[in-house]
Amino acid sequence: MAADLSRVTLSPSHASAFVAPRFALLYDEEFGRVTAVVQSLVGRRDIAEEIAQDAFVITYSRWGRIGGYDRPQDFVRRVALNRAVSSLRRRSAERRALARAGHRADAASGTPGVDGSSVDAPLWQHVRNLPARQAQVIALVYVEDLAVDHVAQILGISHSSVKTHLQRARSTLADAMRTETPTTIRRERR
What pLDDT score does 9 carry? 54
Helices (DSSP H) in the chain: which residue ranges?
A: 12-15, 21-42, 45-61, 63-66, 72-100, 122-128, 132-142, 148-155, 159-180, 182-189
Nearest to 87 by CA among 146, 140, 79: 79
Q: How many CA within 13 A on the CB side of residue 56?
A: 30
What pLDDT score does 27 carry? 96
Q: How far apart are CA 139 and CA 124, in angstroms?
A: 9
How large a percentage of the chain has pLDDT more than 90? 51
pTM: predicted TM-score of the whole model, two decimal places = 0.65
The model's pLDDT over 66-102, given as tens digits with 9 standing for 90+, comes to: 999 999 999 999 999 999 998 887 777 767 676 777 6
Cα 21 to Cα 12, 18, 24: the distances in Å are 12, 9, 5
Q: CA triplet 48, 49, 52: central angle to 5 degrees?
A: 85
The model's pLDDT over 95-145, given as tens digits with 9 standing for 90+, comes to: 767 677 765 444 444 433 444 444 557 788 888 889 989 999 999 998 888
Phi, psi dihedral angles at 118 (to 5 degrees): -80, 130
Contacts of 182 (CB under 8 A, 6+ apart): none
Q: Are 33 and 115 in contact (CB under 8 A)?
A: no
pLDDT at 149 over 70: yes
What pLDDT score does 86 carry? 87
What pLDDT score does 115 carry? 46
